[in-house]
Amino acid sequence: MDGQAIKAALGRNIKFLRFRRKFSQAVLAEKADISTIFLSNIERGNKFPKPDTLARIATALDVEVYELFKTDLLPEDNKEPINRLSEDIIKNVNLAIAEVFKWYLR
């Protein structure tokens, strides 16, 4: 497994575990003492956290650090629904934010 594949697996697992705990990115980021932007980059496989950050994320998710790297945590056939759910949530949040801004800008 190359470096990019490790980052991708880590990001998928964190996202999966976050959904399983019913945490938003903001909640997990706060619990792990990182920014939501950094967490988003980790989940997308764009960034790789330092060991102490990995430990804080694992603690916030109530798992051991090694579990963040398990390749069988999320079966391949279950990844697509999670990705679609994530996209739907982001879309709905963006729509809600737009509505709030319209209301306030009246």
Nearest to 82 by CA among 34, 28, 15: 15
Residue 87 CB coordination number (10 Å):
10
Q: Which residues of the chain have pLDDT under 70?
A: 1, 72-88
Please give the pLDDT value at position 81: 61
Residue with token string 């496989």: 45
Supply the range of the domain harboring residue 87.
75-106
Instruction: Report the predicted TM-score, pTM, of the whole model to 2 decimal places.
Output: 0.68
Please give the pLDDT value at position 50: 93
- Pair (81, 67) in one structural domain: no
- Pair (11, 43) in one structural domain: yes
Please give the pLDDT value at position 90: 75
pLDDT digits (tens, 9 = 90+) for 58-79: 999 999 998 898 876 655 555 5
- Pair (48, 87) in one structural domain: no
3-state secondary structure of 28: helix
